[in-house]
Structure 1
């Protein structure tokens, strides 16, 4: 039985580009279906996103994806994050972009000419969280979408998708939001109603390593320990930490599937 063009258009896919693998899920007629995942490897001369795109192309071909919408969630491995302080001297979007790039270059000690920068919307006077994504990765995703007749609906760091999904569970006041992806963690520190710190780094998948990372970040806070919120979608067990567990998905053997279900 063949599908009509309208059937194809109603298909919605979500690809999760993880630190070491790529997964693919589908929504159709309010039904959620995990299609599977594959690991990827890359040599030192190859950007990790190239290997991830090759695996995503293979997954789309394997499941004969021809038409619909595609949403992409990116691991912190493919993203860079930076705190952009407020500046009264900025009066134009072009100036803000240049200012954000200067903040990134100061932090990473290298230019980001081939990266796209997106800033979080914040009220006047408050610092912003900036995200940088490789321009070539975004172009590669657009090309994959064209090849599979998919409309690229959005490309979003998993950090932002997870925070937006979990934000309703966060209480008023100062807090530390911790995203523990497999092999990498990102921490967002908020105090006084504004962002104070964003930190992304490799972290072993153990309670001890994660607890040490949280404690080091809280030392930057300098005062009373803020409330800690933890989202750990790739962990098969519930971390035994002094933190509020957020969006804890059902147990999944595949961490990419757990990430997908947590924000689906």
Structure 2
């Protein structure tokens, strides 16, 4: 008797649409995407869940595994400095929440905080995800009889996938999603800055954003690495292009292929 591995699906929740891909045996297959419009009376992620439900009902088989990647639109980012006073995971979580509240000016009690693993003495990158969105994904997976394997910010998946291409030394990692970019600045072997903001999908807008971030670094600019999966053309910038997948007209498909 042969025991076949269950199908594995990966959903990408973008700013204006949701896409779904599948791994079956050794084959990757893009199943399609579904757009949605946002209503100011509901959270931004609510129509994304509805669109994901429609895609799963059409394509996903019960018993399969599901991985979810979240656009920067559904995440908040913050640099959490090292503190010798932190000695327990609960203290670290409270400290990270205080950093977020100081940055955003509001409580994040209803958000889940995820921290990057770093060596002692180094700052961490913290990501906040809406708790209601996480619960909604869990409920949807249960309803569809799918195993929810992971829910991860696309920034994290893209950086981990591209990290082998990064050389030693200081660098700026730029993730240019459609209409929104996230920049990670590392110097001296530690994270120094994380910035997420809306950005037009043009070389000029992206170049200006990179230059403003590099001004925080000093006179000698770091090496710049760019991952722009939502761009139909290759950005003409003085940066190392990472994980590019040319030819994908659907930006959600490009994001999925870049980390598949």
Q: Given the superposition, is the C-alpha separation of residues 64 and 242 from structure 1 closer, same or farther in structure 2, using an over 3 Å criterion?
A: closer
- SS of aligned partner of 2:53: helix
Aligned counterpart in structure 2 of residue 140 of structure 1, from 136, 142, 161: 136
Give, in whole Å, the separation in 2 of the partners of 1:63 and 1:121.
35
In the alignment, what sits opposite 1:226? 222
1:119 is matched with which residue? 115
Structure 2: gaps (5+ residues): none
Give the 5 Å matches for 1:165-204: 165-204=161-200
Residue 7 of structure 1 deviates from its aligned partner by 8.2
Q: State the match for 1:79 in structure 2.
A: 75
2:154 maps to 158
After superposition, residues 1-264 of structure 1 pair within 5 angstroms as: 10-264=6-260
Task: Quote the RMSD (CA, aligned, Å).
Answer: 1.2
Report how far residue 8 of structure 1 moved. Answer: 8.7
Under a length normalisation based on structure 2, what TM-score does the superposition of the two structures give? 0.97
Give the secondary-structure state (helix, strand or coil) at the position aligned to 2:161: helix
1:66 is displaced (CA, Å) by 2.1
Deviation of residue 229 (structure 1)?
Answer: 0.2
> What whole-Å deviation, never above 9, does each CA across 1:125-171 have from its counterpart, x for those lacking one?
10000000000000000011111111000000000000000000000
With the length of structure 1 as denominator, give the TM-score of the two structures. 0.96
Measured in 2, the distance between the counterparts of 1:60 and 1:151 equals 13
Distance 1:33 1:103, change over 3 A: same
String of CA shifts for 1:38-70, please: whole Å, max 9, x gaps: 111111121111110000001111225322000
Return the offset for 1:231: 0.2
Q: Structure 1 residues 12, 220: CA separation in 2 closer, same or farther (over 3 Å shift)?
A: same
